[in-house]
């Protein structure tokens, strides 16, 4: 009987409509106004790679151990170094990181023993060409420079 009345008076339909109406209040707006307002991504966010430098001496922290290149499943990191004949230590010459093939799994930053390679919170590094996605050492140290959005 109750079910029949619910059917006749379309109670279930109006209950659904009430849910929709309840969320019409402006404070329930959930959309992120992305280009106008930048979202704050999480601290652990795995975004654009960065090659850290020592802030005091401005020298790279990378010791060219090649562990990141070994850990990378896509083998997109190429580390080149020369051995300094005086100090007998490897010195980084070039560091290539192909972000077009990167899947941001974070295995390279896990493998890095000196926290030189890091996936940062930058997430805006779209490019118009594939060439621009292959980052060299300078790009990795400076980070991407996204064009600011003008309303």
The binding site for other proteins (CB under 8 A) comprises: 6-7, 10-13, 15-16, 18-20, 23, 30, 41-46, 71-73, 103-107, 110, 119
Closer residue to other proteins, CB minimum distance, 70 or 82 = 70
Closer residue to other proteins, CB minimum distance, 46 or 50 = 46
> For residue 74, which of 50, 105, 101 has the smallest C-alpha distance?
101
Closer residue to other proteins, CB minimum distance, 20 or 129 = 20
11 Cβ neighbours under 8 A, 6+ residues apart: 5
- Measured CA to CA, the distance from residue 104 to residue 92 in angstroms comes to 23
β-sheet with 77-83: strand ranges across? 77-83, 90-98, 134-135
Closest distance between other proteins and the C-beta of residue 96, in Å?
Answer: 19
Closer residue to other proteins, CB minimum distance, 1 or 19 = 19
3-state secondary structure of 98: strand
142-to-17, 43, 50, 146 alpha-carbon distances in Å: 53, 19, 8, 12
Closest distance between other proteins and the C-beta of residue 113, in Å?
Answer: 12
> For residue 115, which of 75, 72, 65 has the smallest C-alpha distance?
65
Closest distance between other proteins and the C-beta of residue 80, in Å?
Answer: 22
Closer residue to other proteins, CB minimum distance, 15 or 142 = 15
Closest distance between other proteins and the C-beta of residue 94, in Å?
Answer: 24
Closest distance between other proteins and the C-beta of residue 56, in Å?
Answer: 28
């Amino acid at each position: 009987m109750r079910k029949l009345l619910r059917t006749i008076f379309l109670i279930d339909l109006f209950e659904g409509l009430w849910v929709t109406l309840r969320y019409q209040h402006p404070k329930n707006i959930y959309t992120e106004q992305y280009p106008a307002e930048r979202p704050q991504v999480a601290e652990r966010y795995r975004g654009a790679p960065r090659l850290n430098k020592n802030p005091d001496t401005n020298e790279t922290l990378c010791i060219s151990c090649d562990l990141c290149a070994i850990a990378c499943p896509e083998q997109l990191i190429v580390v080149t170094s020369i051995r300094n004949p005086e100090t007998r230590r490897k010195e980084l010459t070039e560091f290539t990181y192909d972000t077009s093939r990167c899947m941001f799994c974070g295995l390279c930053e896990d493998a890095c023993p000196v926290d030189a390679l890091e996936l940062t919170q930058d997430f805006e590094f779209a490019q118009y060409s594939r060439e621009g996605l292959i980052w060299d050492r300078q790009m990795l140290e400076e980070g991407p420079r996204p064009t600011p959005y003008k309303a």
